[in-house]
Amino acid sequence: MQLPLDNTIVVELGHSVAAPIAGLVLAELGATVIKVENPQGGDDARNWGPPFLHGAAGMFQAINRNKYSVALDLKNDGERETLRRYITEHADVVVQNMRPGLVERYGLDAATLRKHSPQLIYCNLTAFGAAGPLKNTPGYDPLLQAFGGLMSVTGHEGAEPVRTGPSIIDQGAGMWAVIGILSALLRRKDSGEGCEVNTSLFETALSWMCMATAAYLASGNVPKRVGSENGGMAPYKAYQAADGWVVIAAANDNLFRRFSQAVGHPEWADDPDMNTNSNRVRNRVKVNALVADVIRTKPRQYWIDTLAAVSVPCAPLQTLDEVLNHPQTAAVEMLQTSADGKFQLMGLPLQFDGERPAFRKNPPALAEDNDVLLPKGARRA
């Protein structure tokens, strides 16, 4: 399978999650991604366990497959110059999320490198952005979920604040980096010029809050935590069945009418407190109490079957083992096996002509590919 980024060389000066996610997506799309790591232990994420999977933390393995690992001491003038020369002579893209100020100190910043290689696309992935009083402040996903407002609308009012389970800020920022890089590559085809791309965890957090922001600006009401609900629709949340939880999304008046009939209460659809979505939102406490009383009387699968029969959107709340064992997961073939057959990881959620990019190369051991940049004999264990 010919991939879109075949013959593209990316240098990842990345650690933890955000920049490695960007590198992962670019590698899955066919780019040769050279991950530059500290020879003393490598990417911190290698040790973020247990659990460990074939020599590194499962979290590291999940986001570093199809890459090459080169361990360089950036404090060493010779090794730093080797990297700088490789980038200016060979690389199409650099993506970095190093501590603020480090790439400038090492002469590996966009301005320095693009002076010698104007076609280079250089992506900075920072915590708080390229300007402002916090521009030099480092950050991690939960800090930005808190600072960016996500925690203020996640979970249940009155309960302890919670972050979303997946690292949605880190992963989202990595995806924005890829979108910027792909856009710059497309523009370079016409102009021949590269550019500097900037994104950040904070800007990603703000983008996730776009609908909450619009609601606040329209109403003046500060959004609150509403559990599994959506502030603009009802019923639209998780309800407890007799043996588990089911999420019901009767998101418009036609769906609510069908839902009401299916659960044996057709009169709900004509109740002036519930006959339109706006009225249901205003009276969500009443709506949710009525729905909850009905849903708890039957098992989860009963409601899944009953509501599916009348095309009312619903889904069981599944644990990860249930998700991975579901026939739909098998059908889409997202879970991929390494070429050596030793383990499985989740693939890229994209297909080209019906084919998903392959799991081509195991996540690299630290310094596994030093020969790419360093002469033989300089390879580190």
In single-letter form, the type of residue at position 95 comes to: V
**3-state percent breakdown (helix, strand, coil) of the chain, nearest 5:** 40, 15, 45
Which residue has tokens 């915590």?
A: 127
Tokens of 248: 């019901």
Contact of 35 with 68, CB cutoff 8 Å? yes
The active-site residue out of 43, 141, 170, 369 is 170
CA 61 centroid distance within chain: 15
Neighbouring CB atoms inside 10 A of 232's CB total: 12
The pairing of strands 236-241 and 67-71 is unpaired
Mark whether 170 is an active-site residue.
yes
Closest CA to 32 of 12, 62, 15: 12
Rounded CA gap, 15 and 201, in Å? Answer: 14
**3-class SS of residue 70:** strand
Instruction: Classify the phi-psi angles of 37: left when phi > 0, otherwise alpha if psi is within -120 to 50, otherwise beta.
Output: beta
Q: Which residues are catalytic?
A: 170
